[in-house]
Amino acid sequence: MSKNYYDPADLRKFGKITEWSEELGNKFFDYYGKVFEEGALTAREKSLIALAVAHTEQCPYCIDAYTKDGLQRGVTKEEMMEAIHVGAAIKSGATLVHGVQMMNKVNKLDG
C-alpha cells in the first residue's frame, strides 16, 4: 500500500474500476467518453470546462489529465488560467452569495 492518499501512477489504473463492477464501470466509461465527444460544444470547449471543474473539485488526477488534454488540443496557458478563474469566481461567488442568507437571518433575528 502506498503511504500517500494520491499517487500519480494511480490515474493509469482508473480503467480497472470495471473489474469490481463490470456493468456499472463500463456504463460509466461509455457515458464519460460520449460526454467529451464533439457536440453542440466543441471537444476543446469541453476540455476547458473539465479543467475548471477539476480545480473546483480539487481532483489532482483530473487536473493532470485535463492540463495535458488541453496542451494536446493546443490550448494556451492563458486560456487554461482564465478557465480556472471562472471556476474560482463561481466558487467564491457561491460562498459569498450565501452571505445574503446570513443577512436575512440577522435581519430576522436581530433586525
- With CA atoms as reference, report the closest residue to 85 among 111, 43, 44, 51: 51
If one asks whether residue 34 binds another protein (CB under 8 A), the answer comes out as: no
If one asks whether residue 104 binds another protein (CB under 8 A), the answer comes out as: no
Interatomic CA distance for residues 52 and 13, integer angstroms: 23
Q: At what angle do helices 77-110 and 60-72 cross, to 10 degrees?
A: 140
Binding residue for another protein (CB under 8 A) from 21, 26, 76, 104?
76
Binding residue for another protein (CB under 8 A) from 35, 43, 90, 106?
43
Stretch that binds another protein, among 20-28, 51-59, 71-79, 89-97 (CB under 8 A): 71-79
